[in-house]
Amino acid sequence: MRRGPTRRGFLRAGATTAAALAAGAAGTGVAAGQSADYGGWFTSDSKGGEVKNYDGTTVDKTGQDTVTVEVGAQGNGGTYAYAPPAVRVSPGTEVVFEWTSNTHNIVVEDQPSGANWEGVSEIKNSGYTYSYTFETAGVYKYYCDPHLGLGMKGAVVVGGGSGGGGGSPEWGDWFTSSGKGGEVKNYDGTTVDKTGQSDVTVEVGADGNGGTYAYAPPALKVDPGTTVHFEWTSNTHNIVVEDQPGGANWEGVSEIKNSGYTYSYTFETSGTYLYYCDPHLGLGMKAGIFVTGASGGSGAAAGGGGGLLPDLNWWNAAWIVGPSAVAVPTIAAYVLWDSWRAGDVSLDWLLEGETPPETVEAPQYEPERRIEHDDYDPWGTASLIAVYTAILVVAWILLYFVEFLGRGPHILG
Amino acid sequence: MAFVDDHPLEAKVARSSIAVAIIAVAVGGLLGLLQAWFRTGFLRPFSAVDYYAILTAHGVLMALVFTTFFTVGLFTWGVTRSLDRGFHDRRFTWAWFALMVLGTALAFVSVLGNLVGWIPLHGAVLYTFYAPLEASPTFYLGLAGLVVGSWGAGVDYLWSLYAWRKENPGERIPLQTFMSVSTMLLWFLCSAGVAVEVVVFLVPWSLGWIPRVNPLLTRTLFWYFGHAVVYFWLLPAYFIWYTLLPKFSGGRLVSDSIARVVFLLFLLLSTPVGVHHQYGDPGISQGLKFVQMTSTFFIVLPSLLTAFTTVASMEHGARQRGGTGRFGWLRALPWENPAFSGCALAGIMFAAAGFGGMVNAGLNVNAMVHNTLWVPGHFHLTVGTAVALSFMAVSYWLLPQLTGKRLRFRTLAAVQPYLWFVGMVFMSNAMHREGLAGVPRRTSVPQYSQVAFNLPITGFDAVHLQIVAGAAMLFVALLCFLVVVTATWFGRRGEAPLAVNGHVPEPLSGPDAGPRILDNFKLWVAVAVVLIVIAYGIPLASIIQHGLFAPGSAPLPT
Amino acid sequence: MDIHRYEKIWIGVSLVFIVGLMASIVYGVVAVGATTVGDSGETVAANDLSNTTFGDPGGHWASDDHYVVNVVAQQFQFRPGTREPVVVPANTTVTFRLTSPDVVHGFEVVGTSVNAMVIPGQVTVATTRFDRPTTYGVVCNEYCGAGHQNMEGQIVVVPRETLRNASANGTAASLAPPAGDAPDGGVA
């Protein structure tokens, strides 16, 4: 996925001498109290101009697990607003962006260092929803590409204010169409909070995803030591663990089981557990369990956010570089050695000093008979060209007089 | 003694340029295949937004990098060989080559930044990079480096020509040098437009030094360059067809003078016709568009002359090989020789492409096809086949002489031009048909919810199949080409005699049959400049009447 | 110069052919009236269209036989055109006036030759005539950014009197229901 917006922000700040565009690149600190320092983001000092639907207050939604932001709400002379434009949330809050009108996106202008929110670069229409769980504290500024000039900008402030903690789940793209198996349609963006309970039930094979192909709830938050009871309510499902925190050793249920089967497991290790049903993976039968405690988000499913190439964090890089560094030279060396042995490869180009052997060319071509200038009449060519001209004329008549002049309204003089 | 023995430095320059061109066409070809899959909906392994970065890279690699590098490689060989003298200063030569390579790398990495998150650059602005869409300054600087570096090649050819003229007063300029120099003179004249666009407007604007540019002005400056550049691509192909194809056919060029006249006509007429790419633009009057239309139609003439002359030269070769009859001589041609067949098939395809060009040139009929898929259909026939296939064909003949190594996998080479030709017939034909139905070009997902397209005779499934199948054949043909040249390049020098001979026979009617004034480049450049001033003076004056930067637009990063 | 007789003939034929091509174009312009966009001479400030005729884009009757539609082409919609179709009368001279507040767009009425470029700062004026009531699709055919592939709209041609009456009653908006299904045809 393109990381362009954030990096562009930095590049522009660095490269622009006469800063005619974006101002507020700094100011990511979180101030105590209601308003954060947006560095002029909502005023006419920064790109896009004034955000008319920003009234100066930052809506305080700390302490809530999920917060909704409307995309394309009424404002700025049309449906060109984020509502609320400035909102404060606790770390670990999942912000659900709901499109209520057409042709908007979310381009991240600026975010705290260490955060890697990518926004939504593709233009989406009314009805689309997108969720992101904000972990890193600081100020995140974003805008809508097509409507930047109308002042469609927003900000999310993470941290400060009141509100609970306990860490929060980061599902990455597990529930989206970028995650393996595709979109989990029965995931509505909310994580069901069952902390404080020692026994929790998850239905396996509940209604959803076009049949009985869902875990319910798909996203669950529990405390360490909670026993989760998985109850099969339809046939042919299993539980395959995709990812779990380091140190955990949950094995899921690899055998296919049918309606009525139950299985329990007590989750101790904090972090994010991702699992899916093998036969119904392609239908989106996936789920996750987040166990609170320690630092949130064990990095599960953090890599590969769609797009052409994987995110290049150290882990991915090591997986690519390591084996490549061994395999590629080995294979290349073998092939070269084999070719050398066969006499197919020459390294003359390395031996600068030596005079290369003179190249022998094929003998000069002698034609069967020589036709001189005065003896030559290209009558075959004349015939071919005549045929070609005839084809051109016919084609032109058909395309210009019949197809073009005969069809449809034209631009009139 | 082959060329590589006679002129080792220039052989190295030539083959290095061609090597870069081959890498560009390899990467660009893969990207093209991905595009064909994406547009038709066959396979979409990336997002609709990523498509535009891929499209930009494909256009830049194929239409700017592959073409320019191959051309300077080909002309380096042609000038050195025909004058039988090397370049003036090897450091200058390698300097311009290095500038071209660095510029290319910089531009390519800028576009890659849209696909790879950790490159802080962006450049998904397509090969025409119209403002106010904005790329990182490195994109524009990279392309500028490529163009300015190639000017260095032109300087080298002129240097060699002047030195040769001093030593050979009164002699007619050898044809290959004449063609190379006239092409590079055309290049100097037309790239001035895009150089101004980039250096004066786009780079300062993308750096933030100036706040606004006039999109109509930058667009017009681009198309001042943009039409002439297609002749910068075409003339090297004509170079091959005039000077080498007769030899491949077993004969001789029928007239050296006609070839000179053709190249001079292109020098004069290529640039003053750019506005025909802007028939649909506001801000340029219909009268001015009509004037440039007439020049555009006249530029059909040198190509029609080329058709006759090159076919007549092929016929000469066929009859020398024993061919008889009105059309039977065609069978006597060496269709198993890929250097010949590639050029011949490229020429056939160009004859078809010319018709599409006539439609594009028509002031009113252009609106039927403007910015539809017809346009890529057209240029895949012209630059994509007439030029690219000729380049690949001549590589089979030229690379052995530049490297001293015999061509390998000759059977693959012999098959490759036919595979390319058939693949292109399918793909381009389908594109033309979709274009007539109004399907737009340059869009990643041409499947709309409010808009339907009416494709007569067959449905869209059929054309999609043709595009995917055609693209697959083209890609396989490209792989064949890559295997042949790579295997040849890694062969052992001096191991076996070459299968080719570098001798180029004299034309039937030599340069002395044509007037001396044809060789007077100063005169023709002056006439070309006058024609450009007449054609572009009024439109540009009209566009900048409100000022150089007004009405102006701020950049929109893409 | 030494030119073979056949080639001399060919030069003559070529010139006649080229002149013939140009004559076709002139015929098209003069007899059918088919031409292309010219220079309207108008410029606008792209970053603030609110005080121009594009501040409230849409159609209105300029005279008895002339209907003018102001259209703004922006990222990534036509206003009007995308959210609700452009409604124009049949058998009337219709003039589209187009501009853009952001980047270069294309305005292509699919299946016709009404095809023009929309450049920020400039006003494109394209006049045409629709013969019969029907619906046309409109696409943006010049790359304009990440959402270019979504930029589409419709033109609905209604009987002239229908629109005239609706304009008089102020009910013209009801003639253009929000984005309907694509007219019969294929998906490219």
Same domain, C70 and C137: yes
The DSSP H or E segment spanning B398 is: helix B388-403
**Cβ separation B1–A21 shorter than 8 A:** no
pLDDT of A301: 29
Q: In what order do the strands lie in the sheet with C134-139?
A: C86-89, C152-158, C134-139, C105-109, C115-118
DSSP states along B340-363: HHHHHHHHHHHHHHHHHHHHHHST
B457 touches A: beta carbon within 8 Å: no
Same domain, C121 and C164: yes
Same domain, C66 and C23: no
Q: Among C166, C59, A21, which residue's Cα sits nearest to residue B205?
A: A21
In the residue annotation, B380 being an active-site residue is answered as yes
Phi, psi of A122 (to 5 degrees): -75, 145
Distance CA A244, CA B229 (A): 57
CB neighbour burial string for B409-437, b if at least 16 within 10 angstroms, e if fewer: bbebbbbbbbbbbbbbbbbbbbbbbbbbb
Q: Which of the four pLDDT bands, split at 50, 70 and 90, describes residue C16?
A: very high
Q: In what order do the strands lie in the sheet with A211-216?
A: A211-216, A199-208, A226-232, A262-267
Bridge partners of C43? C122
Assess if residue C62 is contained within a domain: yes
Same domain, C85 and C165: yes
Assess if residue C158 is contained within a domain: yes
Assess if residue C181 is contained within a domain: no
Residue type, A311: D
Same domain, C70 and C2: no
Q: Give the Å distances, CA to CA, from A273 to A116, A122, C43.
A: 21, 29, 60
In this complex, which of A122, A381, A408 lies closest to C113 when CB atoms are compared?
Answer: A408
Supply the CATH number for residue C132's domain. Answer: 2.60.40.420
Handedness of CA C5, C10, C11, C13 (dihedral sign): positive
Same domain, C31 and C64: no
Q: Among A73, A81, A266, A288, which residue's Cα sits nearest to residue A174?
A: A288
Chain C from 104 to 123: CB within 8 A of any B CB: 104, 106, 108, 110-123
The mean predicted confidence, pLDDT, of chain B is 95
3-state secondary structure of B99: helix
* DSSP letter (8 states) at residue A349: G
Q: Are strands C34-35 and A411-412 parallel, antiparallel or unpaired?
A: antiparallel
When pLDDT is averaged across residues C59-65 and rounded to a whole number, the result is 93
* Paired tokens of A202: 């998850």
C39 touches B: beta carbon within 8 Å: yes
Other beta carbons within 10 angstroms of residue A353's beta carbon come to 4
Q: Is residue B202 classed exposed, middle or buried when 0-12, 13-18 and 19+ CB atoms within 10 A define those classes?
A: buried
- pLDDT tens figures, B407-437: 999 999 999 999 999 999 999 999 999 999 9
B313 touches C: beta carbon within 8 Å: no
* Paired tokens of C119: 């450049």
B458 touches C: beta carbon within 8 Å: no
Per domain, the residue ranges of chain B are 3-445+453-557
**Cβ separation A410–C34 shorter than 8 A:** yes
B309: chain C residues, CB-CB within 8 Å: 7
DSSP states along A212-277: EEEEESSEEEE-TTEEEEEEE-SSSEEEEEEE--TT-----EEEEE-TT-EEEEEE-S-EEEEEE-
CB neighbour burial string for B466-479, b if at least 16 within 10 angstroms, e if fewer: bbbbbbbbbbbbbb
Q: Are strands A66-75 and A93-99 parallel, antiparallel or unpaired?
A: parallel
Same domain, C83 and C130: yes
Distance CA B337, CA B318 (A): 13
Q: Give the Å distances, CA to CA, from C54 to A100, A261, C80, C99, C100.
A: 25, 66, 11, 8, 9
CATH number of B3-445+453-557: 1.20.210.10
In this complex, which of B329, B355, B368 lies closest to A380 when CB atoms are compared?
Answer: B329
Residue ranges of chain A whose pLDDT lies below 50: 1-34, 161-167, 294-308, 310
Residue recorded with tokens 């015999």: B406
* Paired tokens of C89: 């009368």
* Paired tokens of C169: 């009653």
In this complex, which of B258, B282, B440 lies closest to C124 when CB atoms are compared?
Answer: B282
pLDDT of A34: 44
Residue ranges of chain B whose pLDDT lies below 50: none
Candidates C115, C127, C136, C181, partner chain B, best to mutate (most B CBs within 10 A): C115
**Domain ranges, residue C19:** 1-35
Q: Identify whether the C-beta of residue B116 lies closer than 8 Å to the C-beta of residue A312.
A: yes
Q: Which of the four pLDDT bands, split at 50, 70 and 90, describes residue C187?
A: low
Task: Write down which chains contact chain C via at least 3 CB pairs under 8 A.
Answer: A, B
Rounded to two decimals, the ipTM of the complex is: 0.94
Q: Are strands A199-208 and A226-232 parallel, antiparallel or unpaired?
A: parallel
C102: chain B residues, CB-CB within 8 Å: 132, 553, 556
Residue recorded with tokens 């229908």: C162
Task: Write down which chains contact chain A via at least 3 CB pairs under 8 A.
Answer: B, C
- pLDDT tens figures, B123-165: 999 999 999 999 999 999 999 999 999 999 999 999 999 999 9
Q: Identify whether the C-beta of residue B438 lies closer than 8 Å to the C-beta of residue C111.
A: yes
In this complex, which of B130, B434, B450 lies closest to C179 when CB atoms are compared?
Answer: B450
pLDDT of B36: 96
A392: chain C residues, CB-CB within 8 Å: 17
pLDDT of A35: 54
Same domain, C76 and C160: yes
In this complex, which of C39, C120, C184 lies closest to B215 when CB atoms are compared?
Answer: C120
Q: Which of the four pLDDT bands, split at 50, 70 and 90, describes residue C182?
A: low
Distance CA B37, CA B43 (A): 5
Same domain, C86 and C24: no
Between vectors from CA C31 to CA C26 and to CA C37, what angle results, nearest 5°?
65
Count how many pairs of residues, chain A against chain B, have C-beta atoms within 8 Å: 198
Handedness of CA A389, A394, A398, A404 (dihedral sign): positive
In the residue annotation, B441 being an active-site residue is answered as yes
Count structural domains, chain C: 2
**Cβ separation C35–A412 shorter than 8 A:** yes
Assess if residue C50 is contained within a domain: no
Same domain, C85 and C148: yes
Peptide bond into B132 cis (omega under 30): yes
B537 touches A: beta carbon within 8 Å: no
Candidates C47, C128, C132, C144, partner chain A, best to mutate (most A CBs within 10 A): C128
Distance CA A125, CA B512 (A): 70
Q: Among B438, B373, B480, which residue's Cα sits nearest to residue B36?
A: B373
* Paired tokens of B93: 């030569």
* Paired tokens of B558: 């893409």
Between vectors from CA B259 to CA B254 and to CA B260, what angle results, nearest 5°?
135
In the residue annotation, B442 being an active-site residue is answered as yes
pLDDT of C50: 83
Same domain, C13 and C66: no
Rounded to a whole number, what is the distance in Å from the CA of A405 to chain C's nearest CA?
7
